[in-house]
Chain A
Amino acid sequence: MDFLSLFDLSVLDSTVRLAVPLLLACLAGLFSERAGIFDIGLEGKMLAAAFFSAAVAHLTGSVWLGLLAGITASLALSLLHGLASITFRGNQLISGVAINFLAAGMTVLVAQDWFHQGGRTPSLIGQGRFSPIELPLATTLKDTPGFGPVYHDLISGHSVLVYLALLMVPATWWILYRTRFGLRLRAVGENPAAVDTAGVSVVGLRYAAVMICGVLCGIAGAYLATALQAGFVKDMTAGRGFIALAALIFAKWRPWHALYATLLFGYLQAISLRPDIIESAIGFTVQIQLLDALPYILTVVILAGFVGKAIPPRAGGEPYVKER
């Protein structure tokens, strides 16, 4: 029985890596849904971004161009979602599902046409990948008891996108709660008529939110394909867009809580990789499947209202129609 081993540094390190794509996608969904546009196409956008970032990084040899291409691809799908659900007032869920299918099929098709490797991209090498960056003094402080290993192994040594993602949390909080744009964005998700009466464009705000969502999904996809991996494999997002949606509900559409929720979900995924640690810590084996399912179970518990109540933005899912 050794409970502390549940927080082994290697598990926490893995938690960070697994949580970051969830966090980016979760914040992406947060912007979109706070503005009243439900987005279940997070998965598809991440997948498209993963493919185009890996493909362009391979073709140009520059991971930054890859990142740009990933964001562009994700933005293009966001625009599609915006067109369907804002301009043409279509059903937001159907548009999201369509984007998921489109991305799943298109990435493999284009990959096969460009690279002939069974829907993969060739492995990225050198400048084609985000490499881990070592924070200042990490090696020097490594042997300091207590803080040293934590700083060296856990805080340092991630790719730049990880730090960017973590910075996005306070940034999102600040934008949503401390700027005029954020206030209007939240208002447009609660009561678009009021925003419209004040003379602010509902359509413009919603497009802005959907585009921010596209950028964040793009970064998430690029992180999967060019930082965690060295290339694209078909369907490599493996449901992370949906777990991010669950995390969004779990966090009740709040930025800091999104960080905690995704870290928790990431931790559950990370600890499920180490059955040996679980067994030594609590003395019996836990089914891996249970740990994998736990994020969804927790979300259902929250949704059912057992732990507080998750109230989505009031105008979410409904296209705004001006009264005549």
Chain B
Amino acid sequence: MTLMTKFLGAAAVVALSAGAALAEPALIFDLGGKFDKSFNEAAFAGAQRWSEETGGTFREIELQSEAQREQALRRFAEAGSNPIVMTGFAFGNVLEEVAPDYPDTKFAIIDMVVDQPNVRSVVFNEHEGSYLVGMMAAMASESGTVGFIGGMDIPLIRKFACGYAQGVKAVNADAVVIQNMTGTTPAAWNDPVKGTELTKAQIAQGADVVYAAAGGTGVGVLQTAADENILSIGVDSNQNYLHSGKVLTSMMKRVDNAVYNAMSSGADLETGFNVMGIANGGIGYAMDEHNAALVSADMQAAVDAAASQIANGSLSVHDYMADNNCPVE
């Protein structure tokens, strides 16, 4: 409530000083909810940073059902919000229809490509970040076997898996990468019990580092890895703190940076493709006090070297989604 009052207060100040001409950006959160400790929360953090730095205000809505997608988009567009940022690939179809109706409004969609002249499509090079954490997994592994547990079996998750496997093989060509997907339905994102069993199955096959790119299922993976005393790797946001000293690192998608960038450019938002990779700070790996003891200086040096090579283009990581194929197993 206090936050709300602050926003309202700030909105009033802006309205008084600049008049109604200044367009506010808007942010639409997907069904996961604003405080999902992951994707949406990162978007909110980016918007808040923008708000604090510029003193500007933004409008926001948390979707409660699928039916609200189009409604929320149109309402913001008609109210003059510009740009309108939305999180999640699920907005793709709706935005495709809505965007042409509001040619003067700029839209930014994260994790999806919508081919319209007034839309910025922000996509992340998850394979690059997965490559880096794959290198760390291979260096931290003593058994030479590491695991990957994906959520729903979709090309995006295979992109994570493929980047990871490439990173592992770059460090240790003989390493074995065990890959499992949780399922083929959206229920696979929220099945921590199966995540646990998959982790135990991978441990039985010798894995001592597991990388989870599986949403809520990953909660079970990280928990089991901590219980069974092996290392795990988090995804999307920094999950190191979940089990301090047991999570090797987290592959971070800087959704906050994407939202911050979009809001900063305001109505002059550059449309088209916007690829967030290692080079522009869109992808990274997490280092903090929770995993400092797990990552040696040598490991970090090697990973940072690879990161700068990827950034300057001398090292290229194969993107699974480019040809639906992975060069390594």
The interface of chain A, by Cβ under 8 A from chain B, is 8, 10-11, 13-14, 17-18, 21, 108, 112, 116-120, 123, 224, 228-231, 233-236, 238-240, 269-270, 273-276, 288-289, 292
Query: Which residues of B lie under 8 Å from residue A112 when comparing CB positions?
Result: 33, 35
Would you call A238 and B180 a contact (CB within 8 A)?
Answer: no
Would you call B36 and A118 a contact (CB within 8 A)?
Answer: yes
Measured CB to CB, the closest approach of chain B to A84, in angstroms, equals: 24
Most buried by B among A273, A275, A276: A273
Would you call B242 and A120 a contact (CB within 8 A)?
Answer: no
Given pairs A117-B35, A119-B33, 15 additional interface contacts (CB within 8 A): A10-B200, A11-B201, A14-B201, A228-B193, A230-B223, A230-B227, A231-B223, A233-B219, A236-B216, A238-B191, A240-B193, A273-B180, A273-B194, A274-B201, A292-B184
Measured CB to CB, the closest approach of chain B to A263, in angstroms, equals: 15
CA distance A269 to B198 in the complex (A): 10
Would you call A270 and B197 a contact (CB within 8 A)?
Answer: yes
Contact with A along B112-153 (1 / 0, CB 8 A): 000000000000000000000000000000000000000000
Given known A-B contacts A117-B35, A118-B41, A292-B183, A229 and B193 have beta carbons under 8 A apart: yes
CA distance A117 to B183 in the complex (A): 24
Query: Which residues of B lie under 8 Å from residue A238 when comparing CB positions?
Result: 187, 190-191, 193-194
| One of B41, B184, B198 near A273 (C-beta < 8 A) | B198
Given known A-B contacts A273-B197, A274-B201, A117 and B37 have beta carbons under 8 A apart: yes
Measured CB to CB, the closest approach of chain B to A243, in angstroms, equals: 11
Would you call A14 and B190 a contact (CB within 8 A)?
Answer: no
Query: Which residues of B lie under 8 Å from residue A17 when comparing CB positions?
Result: 197
**Is there a chain A Cβ closer than 8 Å to B205's Cβ?**
yes
**Is there a chain A Cβ closer than 8 Å to B56's Cβ?**
no
Most buried by A among B41, B181, B191: B191
The interface of chain B, by Cβ under 8 A from chain A, is 32-33, 35-38, 40-41, 178, 180-181, 183-184, 187, 190-194, 196-198, 200-201, 204-205, 216, 219-220, 223, 227, 242-243
Measured CB to CB, the closest approach of chain A to B138, in angstroms, equals: 20
Given known A-B contacts A238-B193, A239-B187, A273-B180, A233 and B216 have beta carbons under 8 A apart: yes
Query: Which residues of B lie under 8 Å from residue A239 when comparing CB positions?
Result: 187
Would you call A228 and B196 a contact (CB within 8 A)?
Answer: yes
CA distance A235 to B192 in the complex (A): 10
Query: Which residues of B lie under 8 Å from residue A8 when comparing CB positions?
Result: 204
Would you call A289 and B193 a contact (CB within 8 A)?
Answer: no
Would you call B180 and A236 a contact (CB within 8 A)?
Answer: no
Would you call B191 and A236 a contact (CB within 8 A)?
Answer: yes
Interchain Cβ contacts under 8 Å between A and B, 29 examples: A8-B204, A13-B200, A14-B197, A14-B201, A108-B33, A116-B35, A117-B37, A118-B37, A118-B40, A118-B41, A119-B33, A120-B37, A229-B192, A229-B219, A229-B223, A230-B227, A233-B192, A233-B216, A234-B190, A236-B192, A238-B190, A270-B197, A273-B180, A273-B194, A273-B198, A274-B204, A274-B205, A275-B180, A276-B178
Would you call A236 and B32 a contact (CB within 8 A)?
Answer: no
Which residue of chain A is the closest to B227 with respect to CB atoms? A230
Which residue of chain B is the closest to A21 with respect to CB atoms? B193
Measured CB to CB, the closest approach of chain A to B239, in angstroms, equals: 12
Query: Which residues of A lie under 8 Å from residue B190 when comparing CB positions?
Result: 233-236, 238
Query: Which residues of A lie under 8 Å from residue B181 when comparing CB positions?
Result: 288
Measured CB to CB, the closest approach of chain A to B33, in angstroms, equals: 6
CA distance A12 to B103 in the complex (A): 60
Which residue of chain A is the closest to B178 with respect to CB atoms? A276
Would you call B33 and A273 a contact (CB within 8 A)?
Answer: no
CA distance A289 to B37 in the complex (A): 30
Query: Which residues of B lie under 8 Å from residue A292 when comparing CB positions?
Result: 183-184
Would you call A276 and B205 a contact (CB within 8 A)?
Answer: yes
CA distance A276 to B178 in the complex (A): 9
Query: Which residues of B lie under 8 Å from residue A234 when comparing CB positions?
Result: 190, 216
The 4 closest A-B pairs by CB, nearest first: A118-B36, A238-B191, A10-B204, A233-B216
CA distance A233 to B41 in the complex (A): 17
Query: Which residues of B lie under 8 Å from residue A236 when comparing CB positions?
Result: 190-193, 216
Would you call B35 and A229 a contact (CB within 8 A)?
Answer: no
